Amino acid sequence: MSDQLRFDGKVVIITGAGGGLGKCYALTFAERGAKVVVNDLGGEMTGDGKGTKAADKVVEEIRAKNGIAVPNYDSVENGEKIVQTAVDNFGRVDIIINNAGILRDRSFLKTSDLDWDLIQRVHLRGSFILTRAAWPYMQKNKFGRVIMTSSGAGIYGNFGQANYSAAKLGLLGLSNTLSIEGQKYNIKCNTIAPVAKSRLTETVMPEDILNVLKPEFVSPLVLYLCHENTEETGSLFEVGGGWVGKLRWQKSSGAMVKKGDSMSPEDIRDNWSKITTFDSPIYHSTIGESTNFCINASETDSAESSSPDQTKFKYDFK
Cα–Cα distances in angstroms (integers) from residue 46 to residues 11, 80, 200, in the given order: 29, 23, 10
Residue 101 C-beta: closest distance to ligand NAI, Å? 3
- Would you count residue 43 as binding ligand NAI (CB under 6 A)? yes
* β-strand partners of 71: 38
**What x/- string results for residues 67 through 106 when contact with ligand NAI is judged by CB under 6 A?**
--------xxx---------------------xxxx----
Instruction: State the helix-helix crossing angle for 20-31 and 219-226, rounded to 10 degrees.
Output: 50
Residue 174 C-beta: closest distance to ligand NAI, Å? 13
164 belongs to the catalytic site: yes
- Would you count residue 239 as binding ligand NAI (CB under 6 A)? no
Candidates 175-183, 192-200, 241-249, 295-303; binding stretch for ligand NAI (CB under 6 A): 192-200
- Would you count residue 241 as binding ligand NAI (CB under 6 A)? no
Residue 248 C-beta: closest distance to ligand NAI, Å? 19
Pick the catalytic residue from 25, 137, 164, 224. Answer: 164
Distance, CA of 201 to CA of 258 (rounded, Å): 48
Amino acid identity for residue 91 in this structure: G
Residue 229 C-beta: closest distance to ligand NAI, Å? 25
The residues annotated with a catalytic role in the active site are 164
* Footprint of ligand NAI (CB under 6 A): 15-16, 18-22, 39-43, 45, 47, 54, 75-77, 99-102, 122, 126, 149, 151, 194-196, 198-201
